[in-house]
Structure 1
Amino acid sequence: MATNKIRTLWVIGGGNMGGALLSRWCLAKVADRIVLVDPANIAVPAGCEKFPSIADVDGIPDIVVGAVKPHLAATALATLSERLDERSLFISVMAGLGLARIAALVPAGTPVRAMPNTPAQVGRGVTGLYADDLTEEQRMVVSKLFNAVGITHWLTEEGQFDALTAVSGSGPAYVFRMVEALAAAGIAAGLPEKAAHALARGTIIGAGELLRQDERSATELRVAVTSPNGTTQAGLEALDEEPGLPAVVRSAVRAAAARSREMGQEDQAD
């Protein structure tokens, strides 16, 4: 690969995550040629070619992104190594699969772990990355690819992936759950259902946009909206009552991280 230049990008699997990444990559034209490999009869974005199997695609890819369910990886990727060379990168977005397992599934090419989240679909994703022994050029290419769907963060140890998966990978679901809870609380407090859902959704969207645009920390933004002895302070005090929101969130992250570790162990057992 020339520096920061991707000639051919393959995405194996067009499900929720694969499809989200693919749509943004096609829009951003991150590669000269973008290919989806998936046997399902699914629509593809403009600028993308689709093939039912690896055998049907010609050429050698610069980058292959594995986006199938982890338990389907061995079957879906069985013939991939035959199509790669020493310059190829294989990037796994399959939760729970460590680099050793990825290298066993796809012995050819250089393995990279990535954990994006679903806001990648609208260009606001967060992607954690890790690999051993990448060249600076390869690292730049991988960063450029995932910067096209949001922001990236390179981990310093592979063992951090379970925690990252629990925070940013699963995090959007926690936010959506908060919208559901806030709307339900609004209905219980007397708001019409439609209004409660609109207010809850708009509030989370607005707060997120403020957090994006304002350089102050989340703590500073919270303090700025919390008047002493006001309504917000009363609500926050209720959120912190035993066990409290921080403890609940820690419990959620701990459970998600534990499940990420279990998924990796289950795959190794298979």
Structure 2
Amino acid sequence: MFHFEPDPVPPLLSRLWLVGCGAMGGALLTRWIEFGLAPAAVTVIDPKPGGLPAGFAGALVKDAGAALALSGPPTMLVLGIKPQMLADIGPSIAAHSGEAPVLSMLAGVRISTLQDVFANASIVRMMPNTPARIGKGMTALFTENARADARAAVEWMADAAGRLIWLDAEEQFDAVTGLSGSGPAYLFRFIEAMADAGEAVGLPSAMARTLALETVVGAAALAAQSDLPPSRLREQVTSPNGTTAAGLQRLDGDGLLSSLMRSTVRAATERSRQLAAAAEGEQTRGGIASPPPQGLLL
């Protein structure tokens, strides 16, 4: 029987600082530990960690000063805070983390902005998505100056979460955010809408939900495993003048669905650009932003 062994943990992850452990940070940390990262190698910096893995045996501290006193300087620094908080807490983190490579999950915050804070660090940007929590995520990566060992460490971390892709240009991040970063929410909403529609035509609520969910799961698995493009798979299940054709005509008549998805992804992409501009503005003003009411962490 085939037994999968994860790649050895890169030496650069021997002292990892995770700044922010909300839902996404916690999901990734869980995967890294399951993939072989020793909890003792991790220091989480977060005054109120909402996503800390159950039974986490690593260190948990409130600020960078405490982290430095407890574990020494990091060999890798991961930023999981909200973009608005970079100007407020970034300088303190930078002052205590030395020249450790930085892996940033901050949506919309460009490398040039990060470099203003972490002047001597090599920086990699990443955009994961929520299926990372079960090892089915899609992570986009980009760097301008990261060393080979930093790239290898980042690839190990992304592999633990699912699949990865290196972008050709940093400008692609806004579109990646709008498509795969936000995409799981679109699909969750679609499942919800399908279940509601099934209930509306007479199915019990629980049955409609199961049918909608398993239909999406199965169709996605088929699309992932097939050599055929989605358009061809769609054609195979669509008989002329049949039930599927009738449904598709309502769903996508005159390109309605394509138009809706374009506008949806465009809106999320534009918001990513706005976040980048806001982060650059707050950095220029020296960090005058106040913490958002929903918390600080991703």
TM-score normalised to the size of structure 2? 0.83
Residue by residue over 1:155-177, the C-alpha shift from the partner in whole angstroms, topping out at 9 and shown as x without a partner, is 11111110010000000011011
1:265 to 272, 277, 288: 277
**Is 2:18 the counterpart of 1:11?**
yes
Q: Write the letter of the residue equivalent to 2:44.
A: L
Give the Cα separation in 2 of the matches to 1:81 and 1:263. 21
Structure 1 residue aligned with 2:80:
67
Structure 1 residue aligned with 2:219:
207
The answer to whether the 8 Å contact 2:195/2:212 transfers is yes
Please report how far the alpha carbon of residue 41 of structure 1 lies from its aligned counterpart in structure 2 after TM superposition.
5.6
Q: Write the letter of the residue equivalent to 2:141.
A: L
Identity, % of aligned pairs?
A: 37
Residue by residue over 1:152-210, the C-alpha shift from the partner in whole angstroms, topping out at 9 and shown as x without a partner, is 11111111110010000000011011011111111222212221112111211222222
Give the Cα separation in 2 of the matches to 1:109 and 1:254. 32
Flag structure 1 segments of 5+ consecutive residues without an equivalent: none
Is 116-125 or 218-227 further displaced after alignment?
218-227
Structure 2 residue aligned with 1:217:
229
The answer to whether the 8 Å contact 1:81/1:108 transfers is no
In structure 2, do the counterparts of structure 1 residues 83 and 29 end up closer, same or farther at CA, with 3 Å as the change threshold? farther
The answer to whether the 8 Å contact 2:20/2:49 transfers is no
The answer to whether the 8 Å contact 1:81/1:109 transfers is no
1:191 to 189, 197, 203: 203
Please report how far the alpha carbon of residue 243 of structure 1 lies from its aligned counterpart in structure 2 after TM superposition.
5.1
- Equivalenced residue count is 268
Residue by residue over 1:221-268, the C-alpha shift from the partner in whole angstroms, topping out at 9 and shown as x without a partner, is 222322333222222222211451111000001111111111111222
SS in 2 for 1:126: strand
Is 211-220 or 57-66 further displaced after alignment?
211-220
The answer to whether the 8 Å contact 1:84/1:108 transfers is no
Give the Cα separation in 1 of the matches to 2:261 and 2:268. 11
TM-score normalised to the size of structure 1? 0.91
Give the Cα separation in 2 of the matches to 1:48 and 1:219. 47
Structure 2 residue aligned with 1:50:
60
1:33 to 25, 37, 41: 41
In structure 2, do the counterparts of structure 1 residues 215 and 230 end up closer, same or farther at CA, with 3 Å as the change threshold? same
Structure 1 residue aligned with 2:122:
110
Structure 2 residue aligned with 1:171:
183
Please report how far the alpha carbon of residue 115 of structure 1 lies from its aligned counterpart in structure 2 after TM superposition.
0.6
Give the Cα separation in 1 of the matches to 2:234 and 2:166. 28
Is 206-215 or 187-196 further displaced after alignment?
206-215
The answer to whether the 8 Å contact 1:30/1:145 transfers is no
Q: Write the letter of the residue equivalent to 1:177.
A: R
Give the Cα separation in 2 of the matches to 1:41 and 1:257. 28
Q: Write the letter of the residue equivalent to 1:251.
A: S
Give the Cα separation in 1 of the matches to 2:153 and 2:26. 20
SS in 2 for 1:181: helix
Residue by residue over 1:33-77, the C-alpha shift from the partner in whole angstroms, topping out at 9 and shown as x without a partner, is 122111016544434322221111221212111011111222333
SS in 2 for 1:40: coil
SS in 2 for 1:227: coil
Give the Cα separation in 2 of the matches to 1:229 and 1:158. 46
2:194 to 175, 178, 182: 182
Structure 2 residue aligned with 1:76:
89
The answer to whether the 8 Å contact 1:183/1:200 transfers is yes
Give the Cα separation in 1 of the matches to 2:49 and 2:127. 26
Please report how far the alpha carbon of residue 82 of structure 1 lies from its aligned counterpart in structure 2 after TM superposition.
2.5
The answer to whether the 8 Å contact 1:162/1:258 transfers is yes
